[in-house]
Each structure stands twice: as C-alpha cells, then as structure tokens.
Structure 1
C-alpha cells in the first residue's frame, strides 16, 4: 500500500500564497483586460493553481504563460513560477523534469532567503525520488525541509505527513505512524484541513489493515466532514475510496459499491489516470468478494495497467491476486495460473525492494556493533595505562585539573563579558531606532499640520476673497462687458484650482473612510480631471492599520501618481493595493517613457519625501523603469505599521 498514500501536497501551500477570492472565469476576464505584465504573472499563477485541482494540462499551460510574462518583467516571482511548474511535472509523473524546475527555483532563492518556499521545494524534491525508491534522497531532502520550518505549523504538518510516507514505504510502520499522528495533530491545531484530511484517510487505512473497523469509521467520519467543507474532488476521491474499502471488509456491499462509484466519479472529474485505475481495481475486488466472479473478471480485464510502471499502481497486488482467483473460479485455469505468477513476481519485487533497504540497515548496524567492540577493547587498554600513569603522577594530574578549571573559568568570564557588551549594543541600536522613528513621526505630523493650515487659509481666505470678487463682477454683467465675463470665468477657474489644492493637501476622504476607499476616490477624481486612464485595484484580504500609516501610504500614492501624470507621458496608470496575511503591498505602474533611477534618485524633493515616508513605514521599495514604463513596488508588514501608531 505504500503508493496509496504518496500524494503530492505542494499545491496546498502554493494555493494559500494567494487570496482565492475569484473564480476561474473572473480571473480570465481580468487577464484579458490587463496590459501590465506583473499583473499577468499573478493572474496566470492563480489560474494555474485553480486548474491544478482538476486539469493538469491547463495548470501547466497557465504556469508556462506566467513564466513568459515573468521573464518580460525582469524575473518577477520567478522562484514561485519554477516551483509551480515543477509540481505540475511531478503530478504528471515526470520526476526528472520536476527536479530540473526545482533546481532553477532554488537558484533564484540563492540571493535572498525565503524559508517557507525553500522548505516546500525541498519537500517536493524529496517526493520526486519516491517512484525510484531512493529512500536516502527522500529522507535527506525531507529533513532539510523540516529543519527550515520547525516553527511554522502550516508547513510543518505537510512535511511531517510526507516524512511519514517515506518511513512507511521503507517498511518502518511505527516511525511512519508517529510522524503521521504529528501531522494530524498539527494540521488540526492550525486549521490546515487538507493535510488533516489526508492524515485521517491514511490512519483509516491503517485501522482497516489492523481490523479496527470502529476506529476506521471514526477517522472517515471526520474525513467526509472536511470533504464537504472544502468541496475538493481530490480529497473526496480518497475518502470515498477508503470508505469503499472499509464497507467491503465488513460485507456492506451495496454501501461499498456506492462509495467506490462516487470515488471513480471524482477521479474522472480530475482526469487522473492513476486514481481512475485504483477505483476500478477496488470495484473488481468488490465483485470478487460478492462471489460475482464473471463480472469481477470483466472489470479487471477492462483495466489497462500495462502502460504504467507496475510499482506505481495503487492496489496492484489486489489486481493480480483477485484477478487470477476470479479467472480460476470461472474455469480459465491457464490464465489464472499466468496471473498468479505475475502476482508472485510483483510481490517478490516489493519484498526485494524492502529487503534491500533492511539488509543495508542490518549491514550498517553490524559494522557499527563491530566497531563499538573494537573501541571498547581499545578503551579498556587505554584506561589501564591511564590508571598506571595516574598512580605515578597524582600531583601532575591535580595541576592539570586546576589549570583546566582556571581556563574554563576564564573562558566563561570572557563569554559573559561579551554577552553583556552584545546586549548593550542591541539596546543602543534599539534606542537609535526609536529616536529615528520619533523624529520622522514628528516631521510627518508637522507636515500634516502645515498642510491643514495652508488648506484652511486657501479655503477660508483666498477662496472667499475670490468668491466676493466674482459676486461684485457679476453685478456688472448687465453692462454686457466682455472683459468682465472673461474675468468671472478666470475667477471660476481659480476657485476650482484652490479647492483642488486644498483637497489635495488635506483629503477629506481619509477623515471619514479607510485607505482603500480614499485611494479609490482619489483615483476616480483624477480620472475625471486628466486624459490618462487611472485604474485602482484592491486584491486579497481586508486589513486595518493605524491612521498615521494610512496618511503616509496615501501621500506616497499622491506623489507617485502625480509624477506619472506630470512626467511619464503615459496612457495608463495602475494603482494596486494587495494584502495577504500580514503582508501589505502597494504597486503603482505606468506605460510611459520611463527614466534612469540612478540619475533621478539623488535629485528632486518628491522622491526624497517618498523615501522618508517609506523609511518611516519600515517598508521596502523597489523601482523598475525602462522605455516600456515605470513600476514602483512597496512591501510593508502590517504589524510594523500598527506599531508606528
């Protein structure tokens, strides 16, 4: 049964990297509308992830599309794309091709650390050696993945699950069961329902093998609850397969048939040939248990198992054994004997694979014990010599002991001193950081107060005076003076400009609404006033940050959009705010003429002002600019934004 439970789970975590709020159809509409390559990368990755549930061909197609747009956008999210394509190849049974993509993904991560993604790549790298029974490689990469994610329950439950499969495949059931229960407990605690589903399904299989049917029922009840909750064809297929096997074992044949037909329906929906064959094998086994041997042979004979590596086929032992017995029951003794020989050969190959592993371990154990005995003999001889020397040189031994004590004491004193200095240095750095934040915050607050003062003076003073002048000039319009009409028109334009400047200095939307509503209203108003198409998008989760952080983010949007309108000669400006878990991302892109960041960075009050706000937000800003346009990406941690309050 080792291959029954070898399920590739990377897509569980890849899907959780993106907010799954859109359907495939709506994603396709968004993909057709957008003209920005980085947005196309994200949308193609989302489509690839959605299709992976039921159509690997389409998942691979959209993964390759994401790769093409990434290469055009200076390798944007290239590590994620290579990992996704590797998993697609892995699901298609192409292990060597999958490892090539994983190597490329690791190469992209060589410059900057990413423990989560690196751990997932190692986990899938381990799985790629499963079909070759290379347990040493499987364990090596699995342990690397676990070591990177010891404090991350979401990834750890997935890695423990795969680790349990490695031990189970090698024939070490107790070790496999230990890690499987760890995976179940952690996934249940962290609400990782997919891993919990796979864990309880596998525990149910173990219980069925041990004839603990009530325990198996308990696991399957929980598994079907998760199946209904997630509406996953993959999970439902495996749950109904396990349920069909259990009901067959307790002679509930009608219930078993209904469950297995349901499992086959989910397998056909996902177009996974291995799962389709597995469900057909269990249906043939069910008819054999019913003593309906003719129908059993018909089902078995319709299964095309020859086009696959036999050791990768789930329930291959049931297929050969019961098929040979069914043929004998209906009188086809020659064919029955032929199939029985194939069953014996298949069983020998499985045993040989396990025996090789056990033999290698036994050999290592023997060599280790032999080496331990030799070391013990040497140790006894050495101890005898030391006793003789000790009798003759007690004083020297005492002197060495005192010297060693003094050396250790000196070393400990030095370490304690170094540790104190390190703590003091950390405290100084923390105080400097607090002082910098306090200074920046004071500057920002002063700037906002000055903006408010100027806005009020413009609104209450200049705007009021202009309105009074307009009223007096309007009273002279009866004279039909053309010059007066032009003056009134100019005053109207001046009033509108004063209101626009006032609102730009102190946007009223931030007093009454959150950042998303204020930014959307700002872009809408600019769209009405300018020829450029200014588009605002909000992707992912909703979020809440401090008011001071909202103001600074809004000021950054104002400055960057204003720069694009004034200098970029662009037709389209895209403002995008996206949020996932605790990561907030602001992206402002245009399709203008671009600029050279090296020559502009040191000049201009606007860019320096933006950089000051980015520093205050403890964020990271990345600028890409060429003849195809300019892209600003600012990554922020929501926890740090709220700490600024």
Structure 2
C-alpha cells in the first residue's frame, strides 16, 4: 500500500483538532490502517482512541469493526475473516454510498483471506457474487477495478487465461480513469502482462512490461519490482532469451531476500527452474527446486502441488526413478486433496443455499401465521368497535354540552397562546432587523471613514510631505540644525501616513473585497503578528461564494477575538482554524495565554458583547473554554446559507 509523504501527519492533526468527534474517530481508524503494516502496537493504540469517540453512532461502530479486522489481517486471519463478516452485516443495515463501499471492501478482504486457506472457490464467490455487485452499485471505480483484477488473478491461477484476460482488461479500463492511478494500476498491469505471456501473446506483454518498467525507474526497490521481474523472466523465457531471463530472476531473488518477501521469492525460484529446464540444465533445476522447498511458501497447498509436479518431472529427466516416483505419489495425493477440497466447498455452498431456502420457507410460514392472527385481531376490533359506537351514541347526547364548553375554552386558550407566540416572533424579527441594520450601518460608516481617511486626509498628508521634502532641498545649503528638524518632521509624517493607512485597512480590508474571506483572514493573522506573538491560520473547504456581508461579519468576529487575545491574554501562540461544511461555518481560536475564570470574571466586556451580537446575527452558537494559566479556546458554529 502506497501513502503520500505527509499522510500520517495530516491525519494526526485531524485526530487532534477536527471540529467533530466523528472526524477525529475516522482519522484514528485511518491511522490504524496506516500503521498496521509496520507497527501493530501503534495501530492498536489508534484503534482504541477511535473506539472511545464512537459514542452511539452505528456507522462508526461498523467502521471500528472493519478496521479491527484490518489490523488482525496478518496476525489472526481466522478472527480477521469473522470481523470482516461482522462489519459487512453491520454496514448492510446502514444507508448511503459510503456504507456500501466499506461493505464491498469487507467482502473483498474476506475473499482474500479465503485464498490463504487454499479455498479459491470461496474467494471467487466472495469477489464475484458479493463484493463486485455492491461496489458497482456504490459507483466505486477504484474498488470495482481492484475486484476485477482479483477475479482475473483467480482465473489465471486456475490456468483459465482467456477469462483472466477479460477481467484484467475491465480492471485496467476502470483504473486508467482515475487521476491518482499509479499504485492502483501497477499490479493489474503486471498481472495482465504475465497472463499474456502464459497465452503466448508476447507482443502485448512486451508493451505492458515496458510501460511498467518506465514508471518504476524513479521509485525505490519494492514488491512492484519483484512482480515486474517475475513477469519479465517469463517473457524472456518464452522468447527463448534464457541467459537474460536468468540474470533478471537472480537479481530479483536477491532483492526478495532483502525485502523478506518469501512468497515472491518462491515464485521467482519456480520461474528460474522453468528457465533452466528449458535449457535442459537439469541439475541446476533440481537445486533451485530444493531451495524453493525450504521457503515458508511451501506450506500452501497450491504451491506444494506445483512443486511436487516439477520435482517429479525433474527427477524423471535425471533418471532418478525412486525420487521421481516418490514425488509423483505426493503429487497424486495432493491432487486428490484438491478435488476433495473442491467437492467439500461445493457441498458447503449447496448446504448454505439449502439453509437459506429453509429460512425463507420459515419466514413465509411466519408471515402467513401473522396475517391470520392479524385478521382475527381485526375482526375482534371490529366487534368491539360496534359496541363502543353504540355506547358513544348514548353518551353523546349527555356529553354534548360539556364537550362544547371544554372545546370553546381550549380554543380561547390556544388563541391566546398563538397571539403571545406571534408577538414573541415579531419581537425577535424586529431585533434581527435592528441588529442587521446596525451592523450594515456600522460597516457602511467604516467604509466611508476608511475612504475619507485614505483619499482625503491621506492625500493631504502626502501633499504636506512633498512640500516639506521640497523645502528641505531648498535648505540644503543652510543650517544643518534646521535640516535635521525638518527631516525628523518628515519621518514623523511618514509614520502618521503609515498608521493612517493601517487604520483604513482595518476598517475595511481591501483583500476581503478583492480576494475573499480566506485570503483576508490569512492577511489579518500575518498583520497582527509581532516578535512576541505568533499567529497560525488553518483553513478547510471555505466556499468563496459566501455572501459578502456575512464574510465581513465573520472577519470582524475573528478580528475582535485576536485583538482581545493580544491585549489581555499575554499569549505567545494563537491558532485560528476555519472550516466549512455545507451551510455551516466553524471557527476555533486557541491561545496559550493566562486564561481566566469564567465564573469570577465579572461583567462582560464590550469586545465579547460585540462578538456575541455578530454570532447571533449569523444564527450561530458561541462556546468559550478557559481556566487560569491554561489558555483560552473559543468555538463557534455559524450559519452562512443564502
């Protein structure tokens, strides 16, 4: 599995600072998947951290089961298979495409685990009848392409090369559509080339081998190079270029030893044996098979069958009849076990279908019994209803006036409640209109004053500076004291102009109008930093189409918060994080300042009151978390829908 260079760092940041527990939990699960290949203990730590954030979410619970199976994949394959089945059952009850994608992945991984049990029939059933239809229904191009390649590999292992070629073609057609397709395409391309070699379609195989080789030149040694070397070795042997094939395969065997990949080393040794057999170098062929016999891969049934067949053939060519007979007997026994295994698998599948049929019959009988019981209950209810109606008719005459009185009283009370509710809603609407008018008037006045300061007073000060500069030139031959005094005045005037422009920018930042909210907030953070205070800004998925008036309100809120933090908190580091999901805008501001005690801090200041008014204007919520000497965290959720 290939991951981007900063993949783990990005996920760790989300696991700590994401706005919701759901995002934090999913980040932890992805980190568990990332570390399960190299550090199982660390993977389990992240899995446990994600489990603590699940709460009552059935979807997160299903994802935890899925990633638990992922971590167990190479540790306890029996338990991992059960967990993948459990995850599939949990996800089946949940709506949405993403749940379907994880369900398809569960079946795919379950099928892969069946291959470790030498049960290719169960793997094919899981891939073709379970994982593939679900992935197609979810419109998951990547996963569908992977499953096509898996099915192609099964058919290729069974020497059904024509069928395998069709599935590899479908896989590559899909995977080639993806933007970031490298790690997805390489295994499918390599297996397709290998399948072409077995079909003696060497021209098509050569084209794919060259394509994969050109890509892998710029990558460090990995299993991909071993796969390519195996395919290249078969291609060269089929092309009768035996010495080149031997050179490629021996180099790859050394790389497999350094990568500790015994499975691919076994396949490389078998192919090297085939090359020496084609050259009729039988002693070398035998030594290579004996090396393959020592690898861990010999424990798998299909590999034992292949090795027994090749040892029988090699000993026969060496005229070693006793050993040839011994391995022929082993081969026959293994082949019988394969047939027995397939027979048992077929019986098991038939039994499963029978059980499902029996369950369907039981469900049908239960439904019929329920319908009969429902009909009896309906008849009973009908008889009771007739008796009740007769009683009601008798009671209706006596209760008419009483009911009329109660109804009238309830209507009067309801009208009064409705009237009070309408008054309350009118008052709230009036408050909103007043607040909106106040904020809009304030922004208009800010723009007017900023424009007057910049264009009017700024221009006047610039003119005065030019005149003073000209006067300095006229006095260049006069007294040095007068020149210094004028230079000092000009310097003060420069500072005044700079301060004036800074005030004008703060009153109405030009970058907000020209470049949007994200750029304006970044500029704001940078402008408020100093030698003692560091402000970092992080933004996720901010939509630049938010209404400008709402962008201005958000900008003012963050501006006020930063100003308060700089003035009162004595913080050295401030973090501003903004993100958007649909019509909801999330803001988090954290500092490492002195903090405060909310219960004893007394009356609210003007700054916090302004912040609360603007948050209410956007129908938002504000949460302030602080304690003495522990800094302050402010979280906001704002509504920015049009």
Common fold: TM-score over 0.5: yes
Are positions 1:159 and 2:120 aligned together? Answer: no
C-alpha distance in 2, partners of 1:282/1:582?
A: 55
1:108 has 2:53 as partner: yes
Q: What SS does the corresponding residue of 2:595 show, helix, strand or coil? A: coil
Specify the alignment match of 1:267 in structure 2: 223
Aligned-residue Cα RMSD (Å) equals 5.9
The secondary structure found in structure 1 opposite 2:93 is: helix
Matching residue within 192, 200, 203 for 2:148: 200
Aligned residue for 1:330, secondary structure, equals helix
| Unaligned residue ranges in structure 2 (runs of 5+) | 115-120, 227-254, 316-322, 391-413
Tell me the equivalent position of 1:321.
305
Instruction: Indicate the residue corresponding to 2:511 in structure 1.
Output: 509
CA distance in 2, matches of 1:513, 1:630: 30
> Retained in 2: the 8 A contact 1:281–1:300?
no
In 1: Cα distance, 2:346 partner to 2:620 partner: 53
The 8 Å contact of residues 456 and 502 in structure 1, kept in 2 or not, is answered as: yes
Residue of structure 1 in register with 2:67 after alignment = 124
TM-score, normalisation: structure 1: 0.62
Pairing 1:144–2:98 present? no
1:604 is displaced (CA, Å) by: 1.8
Total equivalences in the alignment? 541
Q: In structure 2, how many angstroms separate the alpha carbons of the residues matched to 1:162 and 1:460? A: 66
Q: Does the CA-based 8 Å contact 1:126-1:138 persist in structure 2?
A: yes
- 2:624, 2:633 within 8 Å by CA — same for their partners in 1? yes
d(CA) in 1 for partners of 2:630, 2:293: 53
Shift of 1:80: 4.1
TM superposition shift of 1:330: 0.9
Larger mean CA deviation between 508-517 and 175-184 belongs to 175-184
Give me the whole-angstrom Cα distance separating, in 2, the residues matched to 1:275 and 1:580.
45
Indicate the SS of the match to 2:78. coil
Paired position in structure 2 for 1:56? none
What's the offset of the Cα at 1:603? 1.4
Q: For 1:563-607, what per-residue CA distance to the aligned partner results, in whole angstroms no more than 9, with x for missing partners?
A: 222122233444455668988654444443333455559612222
Matched residue SS, 1:230: coil
**Aligned residue runs from structure 1 range 206-221, under 5 A:** 211-213=162-164, 215-221=166-172
> Cα gap change, 1:250/1:451 in structure 2, threshold over 3 Å: closer, same or farther?
same
- Asked whether the 8 Å contact 2:127–2:151 carries over to 1, the reply is no
Structure 1 pair 206–569 and aligned structure 2 pair: CA distance change class (3 A): same
Question: C-alpha separation between the residues in 1 aligned to 2:86 and 2:341?
Answer: 24
The change in CA–CA distance for 1:518 and 1:397 in structure 2 (over 3 A counts) is closer
Other structure's SS at 2:550 match: helix
* Cα 1:88–1:510 shift into 2, 3 Å: closer
* Aligned twin of 1:595: 596
Instruction: Tell me which residue corresponds to 1:230.
Output: 180
1:558 and 2:502 are equivalent in the alignment: no
Secondary structure of 1:603's partner? coil
Distance 1:624 1:338 in 2: 73
Residues 517 and 342 (structure 1 numbering): CA distance in 2 closer, same or farther, change over 3 Å? same
Instruction: Give me the whole-angstrom Cα distance separating, in 2, the residues matched to 1:298 and 1:622.
Output: 74
CA contact (8 A) 1:244 1:255 kept: yes
Structure 1 residue 239 displacement after superposition: 0.8
Corresponding residue for 2:195?
Answer: 246
* Distance of 1:343 and 1:75 partners within structure 2: 54
Seen in structure 2, the aligned counterparts of structure 1 residues 221 and 344 have a Cα distance that, compared at 3 Å, is same
- Once residues 99 and 480 of structure 1 are traced to their aligned partners in structure 2, the CA distance between those partners, rounded to angstroms, is 77
Change over 3 Å in CA distance of 1:461–1:502 after alignment to 2: same
8 Å CA contact retained: 2:269, 2:292? no
For residue 45 of structure 1, what is the aligned residue in structure 2? 9
Which of the two has higher C-alpha Rg?
A: 2
Per-residue CA deviations over 1:60-81 (Å, capped at 9, x if unaligned) read xxx6xx79x959x999975345
Larger RCO: Structure 1 or Structure 2 (Cα < 8 Å, ≥ 6 residues apart)? Answer: 1
For the residues of structure 1 that align with 2:466 and 2:344, how far apart are their CA atoms?
A: 101
| Distance in 1 separating the partners of 2:90 and 2:98 | 16
Q: For residues 389 and 289 of structure 2, what CA distance do their matches in structure 1 show?
A: 77
Matched residue, 2:522: 520
Is this contact kept in 2: 1:125–1:141, CA < 8 A? no
Corresponding residue of 2:545: 545
Q: Distance in 2 between matches of 1:405 and 1:176?
A: 61
Q: Is the 8 A contact 2:305 2:335 kept in 1?
A: yes
Name the CA shift for 1:85/1:566 in 2 (closer, same or farther; >3 Å).
same
1:301–1:442 Cα change, 3 Å: farther
Structure 1 CA distance for aligned equivalents of residues 380 and 538 of structure 2 = 78
Change (3 A) 1:357 1:434: farther
In structure 1, distance between residues paired with 2:584 and 2:263 = 42
Change (3 A) 1:443 1:355: farther
| Structure 2 counterpart of 1:448, from 443, 452, 455 | 443
| 1:243, distance to aligned residue in structure 2 (A) | 1.4
Correspondences of 1:344-423 after superposition (within 5 Å) = 399-400=383-384
